Structures are given as C-alpha cells and as structure tokens.
Amino acid sequence: MSRRDSRRKYKKRGKRKNQIFLVMMTILACTVAIVLTVKMNNKNVSKGVAVGAEYTAIKSDGNVTEEQLSVSEETVNDLPDVYRIECYESLNQNPELPTGCEITSLTSVLNYYGCNVDKTTMSDEYLKKGNGSFYEMFLGNPRDNTSYGCMSQPIVNAANKYFKVNNMSAVAKN
C-alpha cells in the first residue's frame, strides 16, 4: 500500500466517523425533542427541561394543543426521578432499516399516539431520500447498511407528509 493510499484511507475513515457522530447527535436531539414535548398527567417527562422555557403540549389522546407549558423551578422539583411511559411499544430498526433509526423513532412515537403505521412504510413512502444535504433529506436509503442518515428536518417533513396524506390536523415542528 502506497503512502498516498494510506492517507486516503485514513481521511475516509475520519470522514465516516464524523458522519456517524452527526447521525448520533441527530438521534440525541430528536430524542430530547420528543421527551420535552410530551405531556402526561400534567407533568413533564424529564428533569432535563429548561426552567422558564415554554413547550407545546401534546395531550395523552395525541392531539396537539396550542397551549404553552411554562416550566418553573417548582415544576421541575416536583418531577419524579424516573418516569416510565406505560403501553409504549418500542420498535427495533433492524433488520429492515439498518441505518433508519431516525424514521423508526418517529414511527414509534406516531404509533404511541394512535397512528397505525409501519416503519418501512414511513421510510418508503414518506421519507425523502437522496444524495443532497442531510438537512433536507436522508442520505442514501435507511434499508442500506452503507447509508448515512439525516438531521431532524427530514423527519419533521416525513411526519407532516404522513399527517397530510391521512387527513390529520396534527403538525410536526422542528
């Protein structure tokens, strides 16, 4: 192996690590966004909320309200250390979507709120895929092992497309 090939391989490996890091950060950001927007029994889900911040409420029946929840120190101190969401069925992205954790997470939340949809349907019919910017689309295809992923906006767009096609009044926001 020549020195030049060695450098290319090293650069390619570093680039792949950066892309994996970005996908992992996107997953973390989506998870935090989901946790912060869920309202159950008039309590927030996480103690990791920002005091003084406002969040849009989602009722336990899945309807989005325009009501704004203001978080005070009192509210945060009243939260339990652990909160479990009952009747929440987790989905495994594998084997069908080896790089589709983002759309699988969205599907899991949609199913929790009463939408009967499959992760592969969400991926195939609602998620924009291609080779552009991962801020605008999923890079590659979630069904492929070598695809990269996407940031939060393509997932928001997939949710809104699902809502529109199914004549739902819900709106996903980034």
67: enclosing H helix or E strand: strand 64-70
The CA distance from 4 to 9, in Å, is: 9
Average pLDDT, the chain: 74
Q: Which residue has the tokens 């987790």?
A: 90
The CA distance from 100 to 123, in Å, is: 8
Q: What pLDDT was estimated at residue 49?
A: 47
Quote the DSSP letter at residue 71. P
Q: What's the one-letter identity of residue 81?
A: D
Q: What is the pLDDT of residues 104-155, one digit of tens each?
A: 988 988 888 888 899 999 999 999 999 988 899 999 999 999 888 888 899 9
- Domain range list for the chain: 22-165
Half-sphere exposure of 166 (CA within 13 A, CB side): 18
Q: What pLDDT was estimated at residue 46?
A: 42
Q: What pLDDT was estimated at residue 30?
A: 67
DSSP, collapsed to helix, strand or coil, labels residue 55 as: strand
* Low pLDDT (below 50) residues in the chain: 39-53, 56
Q: What pLDDT was estimated at residue 41?
A: 36
What is the pTM assigned to this prediction? 0.55
Q: What pLDDT was estimated at residue 69?
A: 54
